[in-house]
Amino acid sequence: MVPRMHASLKNDDAVDPRWQRLERQLSNASLPAGIALRLWDGFEINIGGEKPVCTLQVNTRAGLRAILFRSDSLKLGEAYIYGDYDVIGNLRDIFPIADQLIGRKISLPDRLRAGWSLLRSSARAGTRKHAAKLTGDRDSRARMRKAISHHYDLPVEFWRLWLDPQLVYSCAYFEEANTTLADAQTAKLDLICRKLRLRRGERFLDMGCGWGALVCHAAKHYGVKALGVTLSARQAEYAAAQIEKLGLTASCKVEVRNFFDVGELGPFDKIASVGAVEYVQSLDRYFEYVYRLLAPGGYFLNHGITTCPTQPLREGDSFLDRYVFPDYHLASIGATVRAAERAGFDVRDVENLREHYTRTVEQWHERLVHARAEVEKMSDAVRYRIFDLYLAGTAYEFRVGRLHLHQTLLLKTKPGIALPSQTRQEWYGA
């Protein structure tokens, strides 16, 4: 049974009859308990009791429309980042309610009964300067570069405020309950190296290397000849400085290059792709290309976010696509493995690290919130709200199982060569 709403206004004599009509209209709404709507004139509608877990402070009519009558991921997101409503309490508590709001249909008669005059004002005016503006073929190199630049070419000082010291922007690996984010990221880097069985002198490629943490770790601790490629000039510049600082210039290098344009540099003995497959529009093309890059007998570790077939992502415009990760493309682990096998790979191991990514993103979000003043000073309030909403929402999506994180270890077999025994004890042992 859905709890009914309770409306209140401290000055009962000042209640606008339109708010009373709105309350009657919403009294049977199928929304989770524990939330309050507080409108700009003080009128408050509590859903599910007197002690809501959080309050939506609605600042404008556009915010009210977005929450109640035009709810989708993009409209709710834009209304939040541009200040049409605020969340008083933990932002992560709002996402179960948002799940109920998104896609909710309200008929015209219902809108009229709720008080159409409350909702008919023009859409909020905003420059939308933070939205991605991409044109052309989604699979083109030029558009991919712009998509990467939109998100990753922020100043490195911005990322330092809430990532770990190595600037690892992917799922960490928490070996113990009290493992710090910094240690969990180092553990993830080492886990990847162990799964790949990196050996001294091997040629190692990191496709989409970020700020260079994995290539530096692999070169320093495993003695490989490491190459990282990224489409972000700022990431490459930072990575080059770190490589020099660590004294790894003879064995480690990062280039600004599309990973589909490294064919002449191969073959490679081992390849990793950590958080890059999400920008690939065709999995078949992706795995076929990596298969050609890899030397016979070589391993490829694909680390990427995947979807859940029983909880599919919603269709249509999304906040993430417009403001955070333009042109991102996610697939299920089933579709991923099938594409890898079609390319010729032998699937050696598949591991789901969903709980690890939930914890990772929650820690990123907590660190971002703690650094809010510095983030806003470095960029602006809208940029802070974009990352605030994105991180809180992503943590929720992983927590409920709509998103997963799979590491898939693939082998390009070499005829006539027997494989060494594959044991997880080697990967997870001290």
Per-residue CA distances from 282 to 132, 294, 329, 330, 410 (Å): 21, 19, 9, 10, 18
Whole-angstrom distance, CA of residue 298 vs CA of residue 270? 5
The structure's pTM equals: 0.89
- The candidate with the shortest Cα–Cα distance to 386, out of 326, 330, 328, is 326
**DSSP letter (8 states) at residue 123:** P
Structure tokens at 211: 């700020």
Structure tokens at 1: 């049974």
> In the block, which residue shows the tokens 């269709």?
315
SS3 for 65?
helix
CB count within 10 Å of CB 23 equals 19
In DSSP terms, 305 is beta-bridged to 405
- pLDDT tens digit string along 111-152? 544 544 455 544 454 557 788 887 777 778 888 888 888 888
Residue 425 has what pLDDT?
A: 80
In DSSP terms, 410 is beta-bridged to 300, 347
Residue 105 has what pLDDT?
A: 53
Please report how many Cα atoms fall inside a 13 Å half-sphere around the Cα of residue 173, on the Cβ side: 15
Residue 194 has what pLDDT?
A: 95
Per-residue CA distances from 321 to 172, 316, 325 (Å): 24, 10, 5
Residue 166 has what pLDDT?
A: 97
- The candidate with the shortest Cα–Cα distance to 364, out of 351, 377, 375, is 375
Q: Which residues contact 328 (CB under 8 A, 6 or more apart)?
A: 278, 279, 320, 321
Q: Are the CB atoms for 277 and 286 separated by under 8 Å?
A: yes
Whole-angstrom distance, CA of residue 353 vs CA of residue 362? 14
Residue 391 has what pLDDT?
A: 97
Residue 93 has what pLDDT?
A: 82
Whole-angstrom distance, CA of residue 237 vs CA of residue 239? 6
Which residues, given as ranges, of the chain have pLDDT below 50? 1-11, 108-109, 112-113, 115-117, 121-123, 125
SS3 for 208?
coil
Whole-angstrom distance, CA of residue 205 vs CA of residue 139? 22
Residue 123: left (phi > 0), alpha (psi -120 to 50), or beta? beta
Instruction: Give me the domains of the chain, ranges plus CATH numbers.
Output: 5-118 (3.30.1050), 141-428 (3.40.50.150)
- Dihedral over Cα of 81, 84, 90, 91: its sign: negative
In DSSP terms, 36 is beta-bridged to 46, 55
